[in-house]
Structure 1
Amino acid sequence: MRSALERIHGRVDVHSAFAPLETATGVIVPLRVGAGSPLPYVSSALVLKCAFIAEESIGMRVQHNWHADCPTAPVAPVLWLDGSDVACSAVMYRADTSVSLGFDSASTTLLCERIAALHDAQPHSHTGLFTSLSQRFASLLHHPLDGPYAQLLRVGAEFARELLAEPLDVTYLHGDAHHGNLLYFGVAHDRQTREGARQWKFIDFKGLHGESTFDYCNLMFNPQLAFAARLDVFTSRLELVVHHLEGLHNKPMRERYLRWLVAYGCLSAAWHQEDDNLESVEGTLAVVRNAVTALEL
């Protein structure tokens, strides 16, 4: 992290502003901009993110390249990037954390709109960084499913195989689009044009490739599992997302979306099971059971 700060300071005149925040996969350091910084926007709110695992490093590269290819897409820009696919450091704008997505229908609608805008602005460079959905589902499809949740996980695996075999609208995906990864960056002013725009942009890309419907699944499990599992919340959100998807595809999408929810939820539960996080397994499968019930299986 120190070497990354030294390299950044040598190029863009930024300094550590607060103590680093350690995460499970790296370190985040709030930064302040020096007087000689050539950064294109008037802003002192920057952050250095150092990723120490391959998935996070590749995700930052995907985010950097996607914004470079499609500057108007809802992608938080990466101002400086250094490292490899194994360990990587990046400087980005710091989001306005006083504004965030909540538990209301407006947040669900905004997420759907931003996901659609992201899919409309597809990257065209370094696409080899993206992982196929078939690879992403490996923990559900290629590992033994046993224990008290095995029956439900097998249903999810069956749905995943069917959906992956005949995908609809294949595209490049964020891969982890939910309330915590769509952030508000306020009004950013360009030094030359002095123009600003309110910006809700995605961070923490996974960089997947497959059916676009997949990107609408994670929001149904957020921002808190206990809240997402409430039947009234699940039902109202389901109608909002299905209405959005049917508007995009001009065809019925309810059953297909519910099957994706079951498949994705079972994949997530399988990951939690690998980590021995039984509380998250139960919470995730509570949402999955709502989807299974809605399918009338």
Structure 2
Amino acid sequence: MEMLDAIAETFPPEWKVFSPELVAETATSRIVKVRLEDGEPAIIKHLTPLGVREELGGRRYLDWHDGNGCIRLLAQRGNNLLLEYAGARTLLDHLNEHGDDDATQIFVNVFLRLMQSKLQNRPFPPGLIPLRTHFASLFKRAEADRTRGVNSQFVEAAAVADMLLNNQQNVQPLHSDLHHENVLRGKRGWLVIDPKGLIGDPMFDTANMFYNPLDRDDLRMSERRIATMAQTFSQAFNRDIETILGFGMTHACLSASWHDEDGNFDESKRSLGVAEAIRRVLQTI
């Protein structure tokens, strides 16, 4: 409670927020639910020094979308972001109650709203991380394997990623962590939260849907589900299935490379399992 009080003291007085309630705490931020002067709920994201370095691209993403498919950034002061409250019901909750296909359709509807932002012809915000930079760990791991003469999943995935990154279409700001727990339902319907702020081919932002939910390997490893989801995305977003599946596979291998760097080898193995399931579907296209 003392820690929460200390954080609340950093909130700008002109925001006139009250009733702080700690929702979550990570290495990059503390999420505090507050009430605005009119009693409406809001979120203050209090960034740690690491968060200031890593998450300000997400602020630029929110600014660019201006509430279209995602929460609104209401104000910023220093390392405090005042954000629209998206609600407490996640797309994962909906999946658990109504099934994967229904949740996927909701994701499609939200994604189409996000894609409409580019039609406003607003200039892209500066400082977004290029998608190729985001893949650095995968390329590094693949190079190390090649040097050792190992033709690993990482080597294959890096070649696919390089091809995809050389042929990006409809480049725009990306969320980069778009999964079931970052899509919430509130007063304005289903909205996206917690973007990281990349720039590149929007089909990369479909990749996490194949990779999630994290504790549902029955879904993540299902070739039938992978193929159905890829077909749904291809029709809805008017892009080829190979690109969509390619980003799904390479994202899973990228995640595995991050887990390896952290010494989390069990999770790396699980990630590579998802990548292999997607690769098998790709081979049938």
Shift of 1:169: 2.5
Partner of 1:77: 72
* Offset from partner CA, 1:5-59 (integer Å, 9 cap, x none): 34535102112433464223221222133xxx2xxxx553222211222454314
User: AA paired with 1:113?
Assistant: N
CA gap 1:99/1:204 in 2 versus in 1, 3 angstroms? closer
* 1:289 paired to 2:276: yes
Partner of 2:8: 5
User: AA paired with 1:138?
Assistant: A
* 1:272 paired to 2:243: no
Give the stretch that moved more between structures: 126-135 or 54-63.
Answer: 54-63
Partner of 2:220: 229
Aligned partners of 2:134 and 2:267: how far apart in 1?
19
SS at match of 2:30: strand
Q: Whose helix proportion is higher, 1 or 2?
A: 2
Shift of 1:4: 6.1
Partner of 1:151: 152
TM-score of the aligned structures, taking structure 2 as reference length: 0.82
Partner of 1:135: 133
RMSD of aligned alpha carbons:
2.6
* 1:18 paired to 2:21: yes
Identity of aligned residues (%): 25
Aligned partners of 2:249 and 2:264: how far apart in 1?
19
* 1:173 paired to 2:169: no
* Offset from partner CA, 1:55-77 (integer Å, 9 cap, x none): 5431442244124xx34x11101
Partner of 2:106: 110
Aligned partners of 1:99 and 1:163: how far apart in 2?
31
SS at match of 2:178: coil
* 1:45 paired to 2:32: no
Equivalent residues, number: 267
Partner of 2:59: 61
CA gap 1:240/1:291 in 2 versus in 1, 3 angstroms? closer
Aligned partners of 1:43 and 1:241: how far apart in 2?
43
CA gap 1:113/1:270 in 2 versus in 1, 3 angstroms? same
SS at match of 2:189: strand
